[in-house]
Amino acid sequence: MRTSQFKNLLAQLPQLSAEQLANLRAAADLLHQHTQALSSIDAAMAGAGCPHCNSFKHTKNGQGRGVQRYRCKDCSRTFNAATNTPLSHLHSKKQFFQHGECLQKGLTIRQTAKELGVAASTAFRWRHRFLESVVEHQPKDVAGIFEADETYFRESQKGSRNLKSPENSVKTRPARHHGGKPPTGEKRGKSASRKDLVPVLVGRLRGQPYIADQVLGAMTVVQATQALRGVVGSETLMCIDGSAALRGAAKNLGAAYHSVAVSYGPRVVEGVYHVQSVNSYHERLKTWLNRDLRGVATKYMPNYLAWMRMSEWYKGDLKPEYFVVSGLGRQLINT
Ligand SMILES: [Zn+2]
């Protein structure tokens, strides 16, 4: 638009009714979001190779469904930033940024569906596609004091039977009240069945936002070792609460460890050796999942852990585009 035309447009604005002004504002907002979505996708593309052959020789090749397409000079195939990522089959890529916003704000499925103008089932699918890549975005070879401890969640089949309404799904057994409260302390032993308790192992580097997590089938040396492989090593001093599984894992992975016997003494032993930071993380995680989200399906637990890690890493600086870029597979956190 020429400058003179734009001046004319501005001059006409006072003639708009309140409703027309509101419409104009909404249209401008949408345009702005679209632009931001495109730039975050472009940012994710910068320096990435062709998803078909890994070649770095590619050129821009028009737009498709609102996103930049590229053509590879080596294999001649075209692609966009979402090709071969969990986001590839999501339509209306224009809404990537908007969905990133919903995740950033921590909106519920219902609120997200309303925001995007889609069905709850679509909002649910999008949420999990966006978080899928982030599950793998774990820290590597942490150096320093690393508190590791497990916490337990009730096994939940929420949403597994009827994806169309994940909030009110059919279950194979009577519903528990809001995810329930797992037994703690002495109750955890023989009296309570541990079969329906799912261990979630969380590790946290002291004084830094690096967090590792994994849902385990059982709290065993083998599984703990597997979960922490690549995360801890010779530069790590693990603080653990006396768990034999974690002690075994530390030995297997060549990490130093200090065991804090929680049951027999004060939680803080010799100053720096404690698991308080990771335990406070457990608490916040539980409040969010069990109270705010009213319990989540065990199947999707890794995605929620990933979501929590994103929030922890950025704290108040969490931006919608971070969800888009990491949803496209680029690791932004724990690096
Ligand atoms: Zn190629």
Annotated domain spans of the chain = 137-295
**What spacing in Å lies between the alpha carbon of 333 and ligand 1's midpoint?**
28
Contacts of 254 (CB under 8 A, 6+ apart): 233, 234
d(CA 226, CA 211) in angstroms, rounded, equals 16
The per-residue b/e assignment along 134-144, b for 16 or more CB within 10 angstroms, e otherwise, is bbebbbeebee
Structure tokens at 1: 């638009």
The reported pLDDT for the residue numbered 33 is 72
**Tokens representing residue 136 in the block:** 């793998």
Taking the whole predicted model, whether its pTM rises above 0.85 is answered as: no
Residue that has been written with the tokens 């979505």 in this structure: 37
pLDDT score at 270: 58
CA of 60 to the centre of ligand 1 (A): 13
Q: Tell me the CA–centroid distance for residue 42 and ligand 1, in Å.
A: 18
Do the beta carbons of residue 231 and residue 141 sit within 8 Å? yes
Count the helices and strands in the chain (H runs, E runs).
Answer: 10, 8
Q: 131 C-alpha vs ligand 1 centroid, how far in Å? A: 26
Backbone CA torsion sign across 187, 190, 195, 201: positive
pLDDT of residue 190: 42
CA 177 / ligand 1 centre spacing (Å): 51
> Which pair of structure tokens corresponds to residue 269?
């032993």
Architecture of the domain delimited by 137-295: 2-Layer Sandwich (3.30)
The predicted pLDDT at position 186 comes to: 41
Ligand 1 center to 40 CA (angstroms): 22
Q: How remote is the CA of residue 138 from the centroid of ligand 1, in Å?
A: 28
Among the listed residues 78, 74, 83, 48, the one whose alpha carbon sits nearest the alpha carbon of residue 60: 78
Question: For residue 275, how far is its CA from the centre of ligand 1 (angstroms)?
Answer: 48
Long-range residue pairs from 105-112, CB within 8 A, at least 24 positions apart, any chain: 106/292, 106/311, 108/293, 109/166, 109/167, 110/167
Phi-psi map region of 166: left, alpha, beta (phi>0 left; psi -120 to 50 alpha): alpha
Which regions of the chain are under pLDDT 50?
163-175, 183, 185-192
The three-class DSSP label of residue 151 is: strand
Question: What's the pLDDT score for residue 11?
Answer: 92
Give the per-residue pLDDT at 170: 42
Ligand 1 centroid vs 74 CA: distance in angstroms?
5
Residue 70 CA, ligand 1 centroid: distance in Å: 10
